[in-house]
Amino acid sequence: MQLQRCTALILETLTSWLGELSVNQETYILKRIEEVPDTTDMWLTHRKSRQARLLELLCSSHESGTLEQGLYHWLPDSKTGAMAEYLVDLNEWPEGVEKAVLKIDHVLTRDQLVHFSRKLQRLI
């Protein structure tokens, strides 16, 4: 369900930036999206684990120095305790997105690129 919503949002965003997509383009884009590692479930598991550690820290420490020290270690270390598979996918995700974008760029029409450029110019 989450993947379907994410995919729909990506297509909606691309349509907004590029203009209408052909059926062939949508099919091609969906295949490129599937190539990007899906970290959603692992990310959620990791976030819940971090939140549990934070609650444990907040509930167990009533001395300000101890709490401050615990937060000092907890805040910047967002990857501690993460599953190895999640860390691998997390590291590969940006490259997967980059490859997908470059592949998608090859199937865009001149009109879609002009639409994108004009929209980008309005933001600048």
Fill in the DSSP letter of residue 39: -
For residue 61, is pLDDT > 70? Answer: no
Higher pLDDT: 5 or 72? It is 5
CA distance 67 to 73: 10
> pLDDT for 98-113, tens place per residue?
888 889 998 999 999 9
Averaged pLDDT, 34-55: 84
| Residue 90, C-beta contacts closer than 8 angstroms, at least 6 positions apart | 39, 79, 82
End-to-end CA distance of the chain, in Å? 36
pTM for the whole structure: 0.62
* pLDDT bracket for residue 88 (50, 70, 90): confident
